[in-house]
Copies of this chain bind each other. A is one copy, B any other.
Amino acid sequence: MKKGHQVTMKEIAKKLGVSVSTISRALQDSPELHPETKRKIVEMAKEMNYQPNLLAQSLRISRTKTLGVIVPEIISHFFGSCVSGIQDTANSRGYNVMICQSNESIEQEKANIKSLVSSQVDGLLISLSRETNHYEHLYELYDREIPFVLFDRVNEDIPVSKITFNDVGGAYQVTKYLLETGCRRIMYVSGPEDLYISKKRKEGYLRALSEYGLGEEADLIKITDLTHEGNVRAAEEIAAMNPRPEAVFCMIDPLAVDVLTVWKSMGIKIPEDISLAGFTNNPTSAVVEPPLTTVSQPGYEMGKLSVSHLLDQLDGVASDDPISIVLETTLVPRKSTKPLPLK
C-alpha cells in the first residue's frame, strides 16, 4: 500500500511564489514578517491542510518532544494507570509518548531501550522487569547522558531520579492492622527475593512485628514465583500447615486473590479461619468475596509525577541532581481480615 502524499512547505512556497524560509517564519508566527504575507501563508497552509513533518523538525532541532515509556506489562491495572497518567500529563505539556512493554523480560527491556533511543526520544520513564537483576543497560543510558527516571520497580544504586511508593510504610500499615485485629502468627508471602518490592515490603512487615515484640520466623515467610501455579502451591502449603498462621499478608493482590480462590474451594473460611490481606488495591480485590483488605497505590498519580519530574528536568526547571519521590499508600480495610476489636 502506498502512503498518501503530505503537503510540504516547499509546495506552499511554490503556490504562493515566496521562499520556503518565509513559510517557515510565518508558521512560527515570527514577528519580522509582513502581517499580510503571514496571513496569506497561514490561510493557504490551512487550505492545503499542511501538517508539519515532525521527523524533519526533530532532526533539525534535535529534539523530538517524544518520551519513551517501558513498563513490565501494560495490561495490569496498576501499570495501565501509570501509563495513563504519563500519557495525559505528557500530552498536556506538548509531548508524545512511545510505550513499550518488557513482558517481564530483561532482554526485551534492553531491546525496548535500544529502540527508543534510536527513535531519539528526549527521555525515558522505566519500570524494571521482574527479571532485571543486572543494570548495565541502565548505566549505559546514564553514561550516554540520556535523561531517564525510574518508577515503581526501581534499582536503588543507579544515580537517577526515582519515584516509588512507601512500600515499607504500606507493608507496615497492613501488618500493624493485622496485629491490631488480634493476630500474632502472621505470615508474609513474598515474590522472588531479589525483587525490590519483596525486600521493602518484608521490611515493613518485620518492623510492625517488632513493635509487638515479635521477630522473623522462617516458617512464617513463604516465597512464590508469582505464577498462578506457584501461587496455588503456596496457598495449598499454607493450608496444610499445622498450626496454620492466623493471618497471611500477600505481597501483591493477584497473589492474594489466587490464595483466596484456593482456600475457598477447600472450604477454608476467610477471615474466620485465616485473615488474608493483599497489596496494590487492584479493582479485582474490591469485588472478590470477601472483599480483600489491601493497600492502595495511586498509579495514575505516580505516572503523573514521574513525567512531571522528568519534563521539569528536561526543561531545566528542576535540577539534574537525582531526587527520590516517595508516594504514600493508604490502607484499605475490607472483609477478608478479622474486624478490629471494640475499644
Contact = CB atoms under 8 A, between A and B. Distances in A.
Interface of A: 1-6, 49, 51-56, 58-59, 62-64, 66, 73-77, 80-81, 83-84, 87-88, 91, 96-101, 103, 111, 114-115, 117-120, 122-123, 140, 143-147, 257, 261, 283-284, 287-289, 313-314, 316, 320
Contacts of A80: 74-76, 80
A129 B98 CA distance: 20
Contacts of A283: 284
A98 B96 contact: yes
B316 A1 contact: yes
A343 to B, nearest CB: 28
A106 to B, nearest CB: 16
- The secondary-structure label for the interface of chain A is mixed
A49 B144 CA distance: 10
Given A4-B143, A4-B145, A59-B59, 10 more contacts: A1-B123, A4-B146, A49-B144, A51-B114, A51-B117, A53-B118, A54-B120, A75-B81, A96-B119, A98-B99
Nearest to A63: B3
A52 B2 contact: no
A313 B1 contact: yes
A87 B103 CA distance: 11
Contacts of A114: 51
The 8 A-B pairs of least Cβ separation, nearest first, read A4-B145, A289-B289, A75-B80, A4-B144, A54-B118, A1-B313, A287-B288, A55-B59
A145 B6 CA distance: 10
B1 A147 contact: yes
A86 to B, nearest CB: 10
A74 B83 contact: yes
Contacts of A289: 287-289
Contacts of A145: 2-5
Nearest to A311: B1
15 contacts: A1-B147, A1-B314, A1-B316, A3-B63, A3-B146, A49-B144, A52-B118, A56-B59, A59-B59, A73-B84, A74-B74, A87-B101, A97-B99, A261-B287, A288-B289
Contacts of A58: 55
A118 B51 contact: yes
Contacts of A288: 287-289
A1 B320 contact: yes
Contact of A55 (B4, B97, B120): B120
Given A81-B75, A122-B3, A287-B288, A98 B98 contact: yes
Contacts of A54: 118-120
